[in-house]
A and B are shown apart, each in its own frame.
Chain A
Amino acid sequence: MSGVRLESLCKSFGDITAVDNVDLTVADGEFVVLVGPSGCGKTTTLRMLAGLEDCSSGRIFIGDREVTDVHPKDRNIAMVFQSYALYPHKTVAQNLGFALKIAKRPRDEIERRIRDVAEILGIEDLLDRKPAKLSGGQRQRVAVGRAIIRNPEIFLFDEPLSNLDAKLRTTTRSELIKLHKRLNATMVYVTHDQVEAMTMGDRIVVMEGGLVQQIGTPLEIYDDPDNRFVAGFIGSPAMNFFRAQIVVDASGCEARFADASLKLPETHPSASRADVVLGVRPEHLVIAPEFKTGVQFQATIEAVEHLGAETLVELGLEGEALTMRAGRLENIAPDQSVRVGAQAEHVLVFDAADGRRLRPQNGAGP
């Protein structure tokens, strides 16, 4: 097994820059997830790593070996495709053993390894079937089996769960996590599903517009996003945003919106701006807050969704819709006017112009 290093990786298609100066180091045995919306450059980055796309500039290392211009077949990489990319005319066993056959391994070794992999993935009964006779989940297993049978240095996954139904996606997700633990392999996984990213990755790389927006552990990304895009993309329901005016007077610096105001330290970088955007996660909003610090405002309940263990409340604030997530709430109904608040440490401040996170200089407060 080896790690991966991408240095200043760029890819352009004509005038369009799909991947813009990506730097990323994946440690040996690490599970890194590239996540972002469609067209953010995550799949292109993965394909460049696989050697299926040429790089416009930059360098790729697998371990200490530079592979930027090395043919895919010589990179010792295995990839699971979104469409699974099974060979339709070959049986499951032939699909699994294809790479070993190409590598001219002895027949008995190929058969033994096919059996081993089939046992790991629970597909022993499918070995004589053609892919057309398999369900989506079974195909997915065969595709994973085809990857692991070779013991490659790196595993790449290109949205491998996106064609599965919700239930199968959840079980396969946990199976892949277990597989990673069992193989202790270096894995790079691409998805647009932030739940997959949060649950599977040792670290997450959030991408947008060909740029890496933030790299960190799932909780780092969730709790401490670098910009408004990351804050809004990671988390479901998404973070609530309020546009606020900055008022600096003798009493200090405040961010004001609706009837609410948020005290900010005088040294806070937002003091030099006219507008900022405040962000609060749905679970950090509370009705009838008892705390005095932070931010409070009057809002109208637009809709209530009882999910059993928890309740999602849609709030209206000056024409904007906010989402609140709380434990089970039974005594609320639409059209009620309620006092809503969030503690100061749960309010994130973003630059209104470029969406950059504005962090307090001493690390304290919002």
Chain B
Amino acid sequence: MTFTLRASIVLSLALGCAAVQAKPLVVCTEAAPEGFDIVQYTTAVTADAASEALFDRLVRFNPGTTEIEPALAEHWDISPDGLSYTFYLRKGVKFHSTPWFTPSREMNADDVLWSIQRQHDPKPPWHAQSGRGFPYFEAMEFGKLIARIEKLDSHRVRFVLNQPQAPFLADMAMGFTSIYSAEYAEQLFKAGKQELLNSQPVGTGPFVLQRYAKDAQVRYTSHTDYWDGEPASEKLLFAITTDPNVRIQKLRSGACNIALYPRPFDIPALKADDKLKVLELDSLLTAYVALNARHKPLDDVRVRQAINLAFDKQAYLGAQFGAEGASPAIAPYPSTLLGYNSQLEGWPHDPQRARQLLAEAGHANGISLSIWTRPGGGPTNPNPSLGAQMLQADLAAVGIKTDIRVMEWGELIKRAKNGEHDLAFMGWAGDNGDPDNFLTPNLSCAAAQSGENQAGWCDTEFDQLITQARETTELQQRAALYRQALAIFHEQAPWIPQAHPKQFSAISRDVEGFTLSPMGSNNYAKVKRH
């Protein structure tokens, strides 16, 4: 054995004993981050590169679940009326020291106030600085929800809401509530360089941005003073690799250790490769067809049930997502979420019963309906025209004549909001793992009135249950309410729930500590190579 070889073995053993891994963790990502000022963005890759790697929030999701646990807030109180949330901030939390900023103090209430007020308060100078607005803050209607934010002392902050909202805690775990350094913001403002917030970020998160080479790589080093313990890998590198095939080849050749988002059709081959591991999880996506209950004869529950019975879900899933790409949907949200009613069984594919139901409803001679779908595919509907044709054939088999209308997504949403459609292929991407995030925007009576609920279906009992659940902070009680609500949804059949597409990642066998999150975000704080 040569001296160099011996020396390198001794060295690697010595390094192997150290707590922090010297081996860099290389992740092949699907795209380049758009920036690092996360509140301006909504894409998954930007969330991974910014909110997960660089920032923390007051609370966070327990890895791999939708449960909330403390993060920058050690604990919190909720007033009995559900209107006021007091967060007790963790002490000793350090911001990143970077070539562009050296913090003089630890994280405190001022940082929390700055981070939320910037989005909430239209006063200059920071609100207008984001030319893109604050898409998530606006989409979650935080402007209307939050009445005010108060600093009680240096480590206590109170959020006062305009109405009780149990999912508020889950909202506070989302990327757009990341805590920025107010001190750094002031430094940038004084220097007249506010735009640098997007390219030279400072957070409290597990990794510190070292360098971003546009469209090529993002380099991080570990934040050694991280409040949740030093990250498991000393270096984290994102290799931006847009082609899914190439990501897999790079994983196979060892050029990266984690390949995100392999295509569902490649999964069987990846599973057969014993050098790799495939992780999979139901994502917070629901593909469905909204049945417009405002239109006759879809106002008759028997017709809606008949359509569900006529639909061959298994064949549809296989053709759209591949053998393993999606789980069949029964309810509006996947089974990983609170209050999922596991006693529900999906409508079977039973054309004969469908025909019977139609006859009972007085439509033995058949009916005519329109099917609306979009031209280009998306995660919940990879091949819209194929999907629409499959539904058309299923419905034709029970005597329902349909014509397919393909229209641009924006136009479809607008006209479906006006209730012009009969059947419309839709999708929903959940944001925070809270059931309310699926139910209220899509199935409440208020949404039926505003048109967001494309089924136009308004069931007072269902609506009361979800309203009550939204205002209840006790988890068991909430879960029970949702189970009842889902039973009504199933019976009333305002949708054809189609699929919950799965998310996949392929990793090399030496990677440990990596879990997929139902929210679709990837956090590498506890991931290392052995």
A and B bound? no
Show the binding face of A for B, using Cβ within 8 Å: none
Show the binding face of B for A, using Cβ within 8 Å: none
